[in-house]
A = this chain, B = another copy of it.
Amino acid sequence: MLSTMTDLLSQDEFLATLREIGARKYHDKHRFHVLMNEGRLTPAQLRVWALNRFYYQRSIPAKDCALMARMPAPEDRRRWRQRLLDQDGTGPGDEGGIEAWLRLVEACGATRTEAWEGVGLLPGVRFAVDAYGNFVRDRPWLEGVASSLTELFSPTLMSVRIVAFETHYPWVAAEGLTYFRGRPTRANKDSDHAVEIVLRQCTTRALQEKCLAALDFKCDLLWAQLDAIYLHCVSP
């Protein structure tokens, strides 16, 4: 018997549907990433990418704080807090994701000042990143959690990227790859928690559909950033 749009999906069906969205729309398939992984980007193009994606990276703690501000359970907030520690760092020796990305910016030949000042920040990137912040601030917190589920798909992309950089862009100092090396473990822990929340909270098909839409939206905003970058520096 076919399920209708009102039947609650089983946890397996729901997870499979979330994964299908990633298989179809996650930005690992964007042609800018394909060029990157094939070693076909110039230093200037990588620099534009690193600088623009810094705007995304610097916005992540604000997104997570906005989300935690609306999480009702201290237990969830405590566990989600780890993302804040990961991205902002905890002190010397553990400077966090923002600092790691700044080192990538430098390894790509730009400066951290340019990154903080948003030099060359493309409007399409800004709009997409800001849309993420607004979504998490304004939509029900559960949808904010669901939007983070692209982390289910990021470990593979990170692993491919590390090899691609080592193979094709040896001029990017190893120091610049710190962000990518740290992400898979963290992303797995983070998505474990997000999956747990989403499975626990989605007690109706309507809520499941909202979460699927949130993940779809998140894929769109990641994709839109690469569209803007591609149009600007690969195919102007």
Which residues on A are within 8 Å of B, measured CB to CB? 58, 61-63, 65-66, 68-70, 74, 77-78, 81, 84-85, 88-90, 96, 98, 137
Contact = CB atoms under 8 A, between A and B. Distances in A.
A78 B90 CA distance: 7
A81 B74 contact: no
Q: Which are the 6 A-B pairs with shortest beta-carbon distances?
A: A65-B69, A66-B69, A65-B68, A65-B65, A62-B69, A74-B88
A137 B69 contact: yes
A102 to B, nearest CB: 10
Given A62-B68, A65-B69, 10 more contacts: A61-B68, A65-B65, A65-B66, A68-B84, A69-B137, A74-B98, A77-B84, A77-B88, A78-B89, A81-B85
A106 B96 CA distance: 40
Contacts of A84: 68, 77, 81
Assembly stoichiometry (copies): 2
A70 B78 contact: no
A84 B83 CA distance: 13
Nearest to A81: B84
Chain A binding site: helix, strand, loop or mixed by DSSP? Answer: helix
B81 A70 contact: no
12 contacts: A61-B68, A61-B77, A62-B68, A62-B70, A63-B69, A65-B65, A65-B66, A68-B84, A77-B88, A78-B88, A81-B84, A81-B85
Nearest to A87: B74
Contacts of A89: 74, 78
A38 B88 CA distance: 46
Contacts of A77: 61, 65, 84, 88
A92 to B, nearest CB: 12
Contacts of A90: 78
Contacts of A65: 65-66, 68-69, 77
Given A66-B69, A137-B69, A61 B74 contact: yes
A78 B137 CA distance: 20
